[in-house]
């Protein structure tokens, strides 16, 4: 079944591919609804089925890009639960994820950031932890204003470790996750997680103070419906936090088809800073901040970037890139208006 949809690179110029290119109507832009999306000519390769390529089309209005041919929900499920998808790979291969020392260090840095920037009240921290939080704030996101309230929802929570960290600094946090293996993994850790999508009516309206949608919006079929639902689930004044790869970043342009942020076919929409802002404001949010951030896309795009030495070097390269405002992900903070 997959073979009827995912054309291999050796088939790129085959009749089947040409038929699709000639006969398929490009779908309207998922962000602004404009019907005019044009072929960019870029053909990134899927990291899950080596050699399988997809096309990137671009909206002529908001410049968002989309993956074509767009896989069906059934085929997407095969990718997520195949054992090859990165955030559930360990779970599908037998239980709770075992972290290497670099992953543990990264996790510790995020814990410091969450403690310093996301706490519901000031936290006592050592000088070293404070320095780590400051160093990593761009990577993990830092609210432009104090977050207040008690209930947090982490959409696409993966193994749920962010929820643990949020609960440690005073939140009553819960996760939402589509992957059955990720939900099972989180439950093994005693983390409160609901299986489903944001648009599935899993929660009461106005029941959250913060909704975090981190590395998710690029995966969903209808990002506008997702943000509309987030607006409905937030209390007036509540915070929306979104992180996505930035398809118009300098890194994406330099690396072209090799940029790992394309992540075809599971990334359906490829945002840029302006189109993400448009998505938030068109669904009724007041913008607070949107900034570029590097969250690890570069290290997974380059040769040896996944080695320990490569990852350490890239952390500092990312820091430099972030200092120049050129990170290849976007972090957006917006609020549901009080009225």
Please check whether residue 44 is in contact with residue 264, taking contact to mean a CB–CB distance below 8 angstroms: yes
- Least distance CB 232 / Zn ion (angstroms): 23
DSSP of 261-309 = GG-TTT--EE--HHHHHHHHHHTTPEEEEEEEE--STTTTTSTTTTSHH
- Least distance CB 59 / Zn ion (angstroms): 3
- Least distance CB 63 / Zn ion (angstroms): 7
Please check whether residue 331 is in contact with residue 277, taking contact to mean a CB–CB distance below 8 angstroms: no
Instruction: Write out the binding residues for Zn ion, residues 14-73 only, by CB under 5 A.
Output: 29, 31-32, 34, 59, 61-62, 64
Measured from the CB atom, the residue of 12 and 32 that comes closer to Zn ion is 32
Q: Can residue 183 be called a binding residue for Zn ion (CB under 5 A)?
A: no
Measured from the CB atom, the residue of 31 and 266 that comes closer to Zn ion is 31
Measured from the CB atom, the residue of 48 and 57 that comes closer to Zn ion is 57
Residues 6+ apart with CB under 8 A from 77: none
- Least distance CB 70 / Zn ion (angstroms): 15
**Alpha-carbon gap, residue 248 to 297, rounded angstroms:** 14
Question: How many amino acids of this chain bind Zn ion (CB under 5 A)?
Answer: 8
| Residue written as token pair 């510790």 | 108
Please check whether residue 79 is in contact with residue 92, taking contact to mean a CB–CB distance below 8 angstroms: no
Measured from the CB atom, the residue of 36 and 325 that comes closer to Zn ion is 36
Measured from the CB atom, the residue of 153 and 278 that comes closer to Zn ion is 278
- Least distance CB 29 / Zn ion (angstroms): 3
**Alpha-carbon gap, residue 177 to 216, rounded angstroms:** 10
**Residue ranges in contact with Zn ion by CB under 5 A:** 29, 31-32, 34, 59, 61-62, 64
């Amino acid at each position: 079944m997959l073979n009827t949809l995912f054309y291999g690179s050796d088939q790129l110029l085959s009749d089947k591919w040409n038929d699709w290119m000639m006969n398929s109507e490009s779908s309207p832009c998922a962000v602004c609804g404009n019907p005019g999306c044009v072929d960019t000519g870029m053909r990134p390769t899927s990291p899950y089925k080596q050699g399988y390529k997809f096309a990137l089309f671009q909206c002529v209005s908001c410049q968002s890009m989309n993956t074509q041919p767009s896989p069906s929900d059934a085929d997407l499920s095969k990718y997520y639960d195949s054992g090859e998808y990165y955030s559930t790979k360990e779970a599908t291969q037998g239980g709770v994820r075992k972290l290497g020392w670099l992953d543990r260090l990264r996790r510790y840095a995020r814990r410091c950031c969450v403690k310093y920037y996301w706490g519901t009240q000031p936290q006592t921290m050592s000088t070293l932890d404070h320095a780590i939080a400051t160093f990593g704030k761009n990577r993990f996101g830092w609210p432009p204003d104090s977050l207040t309230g008690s209930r947090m929802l982490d959409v696409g929570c993966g193994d749920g470790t962010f929820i643990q960290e949020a609960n440690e600094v005073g939140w009553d946090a819960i996760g939402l996750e589509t992957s059955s293996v990720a939900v099972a993994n989180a439950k093994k850790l005693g983390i409160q997680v609901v299986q489903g999508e944001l648009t599935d009516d899993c929660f009461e309206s106005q029941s959250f103070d913060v909704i975090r949608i981190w590395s998710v919006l690029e995966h969903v079929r209808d990002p506008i419906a997702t943000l509309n639902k987030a607006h409905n689930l937030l209390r007036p004044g509540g915070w929306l936090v979104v992180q996505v790869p930035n398809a118009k970043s300098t890194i994406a342009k330099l690396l072209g088809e090799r940029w790992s942020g394309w992540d075809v076919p599971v990334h359906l929409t490829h945002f840029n800073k302006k189109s993400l802002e448009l998505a938030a404001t068109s669904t009724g949010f007041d913008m607070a901040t949107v900034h570029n951030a590097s969250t690890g896309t570069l290290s997974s795009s380059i040769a040896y970037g996944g080695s320990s030495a490569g990852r350490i070097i890239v952390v500092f390269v990312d820091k430099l890139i972030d200092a120049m405002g050129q990170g290849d992900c976007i972090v957006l903070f917006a609020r549901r208006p009080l009225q």
